[in-house]
Amino acid sequence: MSNTPSRPRAAIVVNPTKVDDLGALRRECVDVSRDAGWAEPLWLQTRLDDPGTGQTQQALREGCDIVFAAGGDGTVRHVGAALSGTSVPLGLMPQGTGNLLARNLGVSVDGSAALNFARSLAGEDTVIDVGRVHATFGDGSATNDTFLIMAGFGLDGDIMNATSETLKKRIGWMAYPIAGARYVTQRPERMLASFDDGAPHTKKTTTLLVGNFGLLTAGVQLMPGANGTDGRFDTVWLSADGPLQWAALSAQIFARSRRTTGRVERTRCARVAAKAMGRPRALELDGDVLGDVREMEMWVEEKALRVRVANARHSRMSDVRRHLPGILGQTLRR
């Protein structure tokens, strides 16, 4: 009977619509794993009817030591939600348009997915909060869900719905403001909201944003104080009526202002509840639109998810392959 310990193993949950050459990526990750002394990674592709949850559960059943999400923010959300509450870390191989969790944690979004895979095998874990959600739809049905970065109740959900995948592939994050331009004349609608134990109050609302992290694409800091590790949400309750107010609101956001004004109401809290007083409003979680919701409640689950932050000391794949076994040994001995 052999006393040789089993080799660690990674799982890769990949969205095939986000990767140009699946075969090349898989071969690179197999090579990196072999060089690092890891077993061949478990390769699991997402499907329309299962965008990452079932694949992650399979990886957990098979005892994988880390589960990577190779895709966009939606893939990361589903994999991260399935890993939350476990001791298995989430690895990031950004392949989407926003890649917001990677941006907020300082993981490179410019290199190849295989390079981030290699760096992460020898990286370090950070533990973040997650957002839990209970939402009731317009027809009275309800659901529970999870987000990692940011949720929005209102116009941003409409914009996510209106942004085509084709346009995102062609021009990247600029597809979102282009899709949003059609809504600049949309009138705000009344919403009732409460934060922690505060009294509920109403406001003409364009959208209510609830952030675990606050950094968006192009370096926009929508919530400058949000860090995802403090047990608190940063919320931004926006109201803009017409092009002039939209221009003023945008200027306030791009200036990284933390002020509360008539257009922007900012609150820090651990729990938020909101109800659309008119028609149901779109609810999005990390860019995934759940549907039109009558009311919702969100709360922080502290320190619920481990995320592997890639080791960026070596910038090239050749450097990673040359130094990874030694770095990995140091990491495992810590």
* pLDDT tens digits in sequence order for the chain, 334 residues long: 445 568 999 999 999 999 999 999 999 999 999 999 999 999 999 999 999 999 999 999 999 999 999 999 999 999 999 999 999 999 999 998 889 999 999 998 876 899 999 999 989 999 999 999 999 999 999 999 999 999 999 988 777 776 666 766 665 655 555 555 665 667 789 999 999 999 999 999 888 999 999 998 878 888 888 999 999 999 998 887 766 666 666 666 665 666 666 678 899 999 999 999 999 999 999 999 999 999 999 999 999 999 999 765 544 555 555 545 443 443 333 3
Q: What is the rounded distance in angstroms from the CA atom of residue 153 to the CA atom of residue 82?
A: 23
Superfamily (CATH) of domain 10-123+310-333? Probable inorganic polyphosphate/atp-NAD kinase; domain 1 (3.40.50.10330)
**What's the token pair of residue 265?**
């109401």
- Residue 269 sits at φ, ψ, to 5 deg, of -160, 170
Residue for token digits 């410019």? 110
Q: What is this structure's pTM?
A: 0.86
- Kindly list the domain boundaries of the chain, sorted by start residue: 10-123+310-333, 130-303
Q: What whole-number distance in Å separates Cα of residue 105 and Cα of residue 111?
A: 15
* Record: fold of 130-303: Tumour Suppressor Smad4 (2.60.200)
